[in-house]
Amino acid sequence: MVRRVKLRRMGGSIGVTLPREMAQRLHLAAGDEMLAVETASGILLTPTTRMWTTDSRSRLSSDSGRR
């Protein structure tokens, strides 16, 4: 699902507001931690609760280096 989201000022940072139905479907709640990975095509946000293997972490790292 693709949704347009809004960036909002949060203190000295910028935060992303997710639509309620998307957060519910993905079992996300306020205070949950996410990984923000910079990739060649943008930013990938993924919950830290997923089990990451060493291989998937290294693939994400190598993807973020492509520009």
32-67 pLDDT, tens digit per residue, is 999 999 999 999 998 886 555 555 556 666 665 554
Structure tokens at 61: 């790292």
Structure tokens at 25: 């479907």
Q: What are phi and psi of 5, to 5 degrees?
A: -125, 160
Q: What is the DSSP letter of 50?
A: S
CATH architecture of the domain 6-64 equals: Ribbon (2.10)
16-35 pLDDT, tens digit per residue, is 999 999 999 989 999 999 99
pTM for the whole thing? 0.61
